[in-house]
Amino acid sequence: MTFKCKMCGGDIQIIKGTNTGKCLYCKSVMTLPNTDNEKILNLYNRASELRQSNEFDKAQGLYESILSLDNTQIEAKWGILLCKYGVEYVDDPNTGKKIPTCHKASHESILATEEYKYIINKAYGDTLKLYKNEAKEINRLQKEILTISENEKPYDIFICYKETDEKNGGRTKDSVLAQEIYNELTKLNYNVFFSRITLEDKIGSEYEPYIFSALNSAKIMLVVGTSKNNMNSPWVKNEWNRYIDIIKKDQTKTLIPCFYGMSASDLPDEFSLLQGQDLNKIGAIQDLVRGITKLLPKNSQNKQISDDLLSQVKEILKEEEAEKKRQAELEKAGIPVKIYKDKCPKYYIVINLMISLFIAAFYIILISQRFFVSNILSTSSQLINNVILVFGITAILYLVAFILGITNRKNQKISKYIYILNMIMFIIFSVYIYNKYNLIFSKAIIGVYLGTILLLFLKSKWEIKTIVQKVPKSYAEEIQKYNEAEKQKLEKTKPTKIIVYIVGALLALFLIISAIIIKPDEILNQRNENMDQIQIINNYINIRQKPSNKSERIGQAKEGQYYTVLETINCSKEVKCPNFSGAWYKIQYTNDITGYIYSGGNYEYISYIPKNANN
């Protein structure tokens, strides 16, 4: 036996280990009957078909038949609830999923019904969760319907009829007759619910709140029909059946069957004790209207007063609506508010840019001097990688610091810290090069130091830039107060003091004097009287890894530099030399690197200086 989806009618795939299943067509997950009785399952599927056709009363009867066969069927209890509240599952236009909509609203919450209390006491696991979720959603819909209906004006008369002919899709004769009655009643100032007109600006899913309100407020219901089938069609029966339930609680209400082209014996059984109106007779509509005036008298004078009062109220509401609209437009358009922001002076940007370009120029000089260290032509790849890494990081940091320095005064402080960081990185790296490779920075580094110090001490009095911006009226005043407070903070910023420039100038002067006097290039490779040394007397000489002119060159020694001699190797058959009269000198090239220099004959490039020798 195949279970049918209670939302769309598709086949259900059972989820193992649970009393739930998933529709293969609409993908909805739902509860299932807990039975293998084929007769009961057939009743379930038939009841589901009827409910999906909005024949809720017939479907409810089948669910009650299931309970008479097996009173433990929780799903049958749930089916009865769906019928009582006229639940139909429709497609959600946003998600495409099936969602419930109600066609039979009630003042009683679904959560308070005996059926629901029984269900939550007996169900468990995923089944219980599904029941609770669906009941919660139906209860939410009920509240929405009741909220809307409470704001509706009360009706005097409710006209119930079949609007559309399924065969040709046009209007039914019932609809035409109902509108004739509607026209006559409205002439007498009755407030009549006639769905063709009353609901013409609503969509189908929005009908229920207005139908519910009209059913509960109307004193008279007219059921207009030209055939028993039309009077028993699902939507028509849904309305008059609900009105009969209301009459049971309120005997002041009246239901009048109005039939045409049929006899009183053809009316639904529920109307057998009611006095009907035969519309086949000449003047029947006038007779009907006269009878209604007796049941529901209408005072024309009071109506006129009521209409005048209603007109005044409408005018007031119209004015209020216009005022709300005007306020909404003002809110949307906004009102101008001054916003104060930092503005970096142009002179500061120009000076900052010029100093940054000054630093960049010295970077280029350092690169042109072979990775900005002196006395080196080629060296290890590790040194080259380290130099490139440090240079790249500091260059990026300089660019970031420049951009931050001109955005606002808070970021300007951050830029100062970045300049300090760059200075520290250069100093640490210069010490590293000196200790590791016995090398020093060229004098071009002084330009980088000088430019960085100038940037450190360069400050400006930031200006205040005023921007006019439209903001919503509701919080414009609050924003304006905040902006005024911000302006006061900005105005309290102290201007740059001349002492800052003086200190910066003194530091720059100190660096320049130090560069001239100390001469950093002379720090390395000076004379050491306690060691045997050689002094380079040629422009430069290559340093080899081994005592051979075919050996790999590891660097260059430049004129005037001193190197400690570790070993002297005279030329022989084993040790090849350009001239046999010379010798290879093993020297300490850097702290951890040794190499060989040749001198002799036509290649006399050095001067040998023994220890304790006078210069």
Q: Do 383 and 506 lie in a common domain?
A: yes
3-state secondary structure of 574: coil
Which pLDDT belongs to residue 474?
Answer: 60
Token duo for residue 477 = 């005043």
Predicted local distance difference test score (pLDDT) of residue 100: 83
Residue 614 lies in a domain: no
Q: What is the pLDDT of residue 302?
A: 46
Write out the two tokens for 38. Answer: 């084929």
Cβ atoms of 615 and 607 within 8 Å: the answer is no
Closest listed residue to residue 378, CA positions, set 201, 583, 562, 542 = 542
Q: Are residues 208 and 139 in the same domain?
A: no
What CA–CA distance (Å, rounded) separates 75 from 445?
A: 88
Separation of alpha carbons 243 and 246, rounded Å: 5
Residue range(s) defining the domain that contains residue 355 = 343-522
Q: Are 43 and 35 in contact (CB under 8 A)?
A: no
SS (HEC) of 509-536: HHHHHHHHHHCHHHCCCCCCCCCCEEEE
- Same structural domain, 55 and 74: yes
One domain for residues 467 and 583: no
Domain membership flag for residue 566: yes
**263 shares a domain with 237:** yes
User: Is 7 inside a domain boundary?
Assistant: no
> What is the rounded CA–CA span in Å between residue 519 and residue 528?
18
pLDDT value at residue 166: 83
- Six token digits for residue 519: 């001469």
Instruction: Out of 95, 123, 149, pick the residue that ends a domain.
Output: 149
pTM check: above 0.75? no
Instruction: Based on the fold, state whether residues 276 and 324 are members of the same structural domain.
Output: no
Residue 170 burial (C-beta neighbours within 10 Å; 0-12, 13-18, 19+):
exposed
Whether 27 is covered by a domain: the verdict is: yes
| Nearest Cα residue to 51 out of 84, 29, 12, 92 | 84
Residues 512 and 432 both lie in one domain:
yes
For 309, left (φ over 0), alpha (ψ -120 to 50), or beta? alpha
Asked whether the beta carbons of 547 and 567 are under 8 A apart, the reply is no
Compute the distance between CA of residue 240 and CA of residue 159 in angstroms, rounded to an integer.
Answer: 10
Tell me the C-alpha distance between 411 and 204, whole Å: 60
Closest CA to 104 of 180, 51, 164: 51
Q: Compute how many other C-beta atoms are within 10 angstroms of the C-beta atom of residue 344.
A: 18
Entry field: residues in the chain = 615
What CA–CA distance (Å, rounded) separates 195 from 302?
27
Same domain, yes or no: 508 and 555: no
Q: Please tell me whether residues 46 and 141 are part of one structural domain.
A: yes
- My answer on whether 348 and 325 are in the same domain is no
DSSP state of 345: -
CA 513 to chain CA centroid, nearest Å:
60
Split the chain (615 residues) into runs of 10 and give each run's mean pLDDT: 77 80 84 84 89 87 91 91 87 76 84 91 88 90 83 90 88 93 92 91 76 90 93 90 90 93 90 89 90 78 53 70 72 67 77 84 68 44 70 84 80 83 81 68 75 79 68 64 66 49 53 46 57 86 87 83 87 78 84 82 83 65
Secondary structure class of 9 (helix, strand, coil): coil
Across the beta sheet with 220-225, what order do the strands follow?
192-193, 157-160, 220-225, 254-259, 277-278
**CATH number of the domain where residue 577 is located:** 2.30.30
Q: Which of 115, 145, 297, 164 is nearest to 215 (CA)?
A: 145
Query: Based on the domain organization, do 292 and 306 belong to the same domain?
Result: no
Query: What tokens were used for 333?
Result: 């358009």
Among residues 217, 211, 271, which one has the least CA distance to residue 244?
271
Asked whether the beta carbons of 284 and 277 are under 8 A apart, the reply is: yes
Q: Is residue 5 part of a domain?
A: no
Helix, strand, coil percentages, rounded to 5, for the chain: 50, 20, 30
What lies within 8 Å, CB to CB, of 362 at 6+ separation is 444, 445, 447, 448, 451
Tally the domains of the chain: 5
Q: How far apart are the C-alpha atoms of 56 and 3, rounded to whole Å? A: 20
In 3-state terms, what secondary structure has residue 532?
coil
Residue 26 within a domain? yes
Q: What is the pLDDT of residue 503?
A: 46
